[in-house]
Amino acid sequence: MKSKSDKIRFFSPQDNQQQAAAKATPKETSFTTTITKTGRLTFPQKLMEGLGIDPAKPYFKVGTVNRRKGVKALYLFPTEQGDSEAFELAKTGRGYSLPLKGILPKIGLDYETQEYTFTIQPYEFGDGVAGFELVSEQATPRSGAGNETEQ
């Protein structure tokens, strides 16, 4: 008759390494942000760290591509304090946000009644300028005001 010790299977540290490596398969990290009901684009602390956004350099230009069928993406790229088109990150709780309350309705985003989530990816604008592309899966039709307003 076999003893209990004959039935026990012991693992080696190498078995553990292989198992850990299988579980730790790197998956593509994606970051998302939302627009609040008060018209702010949110940047939680984890998002700031993940994207390497330095709160000591809180100025961004914000833009979108003019399209008749709505907004597909927003674009952000770092700029300096004196830039006339600069938006400043505002400290909100443990994170930050960009107040865009006046722009969002002009580009057809009804933030007060609809929730918008954007996936953020690094984006190369060219000429050594890098920033972020924020893509939304939601339908974001242009409003009448957005078509009349020059972007």
The residue extents of the domains of the chain are 30-148
Q: pLDDT by residue (tens digit) across 79-134?
A: 999 999 999 999 998 899 999 999 988 888 899 999 999 999 999 988 888 999 99
Mean per-residue pLDDT over the chain, rounded: 80
Residue 126 has which token pair? 């060219």
> Does residue 39 register a pLDDT over 80?
yes
Q: pLDDT by residue (tens digit) across 119-133?
A: 999 999 888 889 999
**What is the CA angle 22-28-31, rounded to 5?**
135
Residue of 20 and 116 predicted with greater confidence = 116
Residue 140 has which token pair? 């974001």
Reported as a pLDDT band with limits 50, 70 and 90, residue 146 is very low
Q: CA separation (Å) from 141 to 13, 105, 126, 149?
A: 56, 11, 28, 14
Q: What is the pTM of this model?
A: 0.70
What do you get for the CA distance between the two ends of the chain, in Å? 84
Long-range contacts of 5-13 (CB under 8 A, 24+ apart): none
Residue of 69 and 58 predicted with greater confidence = 58
Q: Counting beta carbons within 10 angstroms of the beta carbon of residue 42, is it exposed (0 to 12), middle (13 to 18) or buried (19 or more)?
A: middle
> Does residue 21 register a pLDDT over 60?
no
- Amino acid type, 14: Q
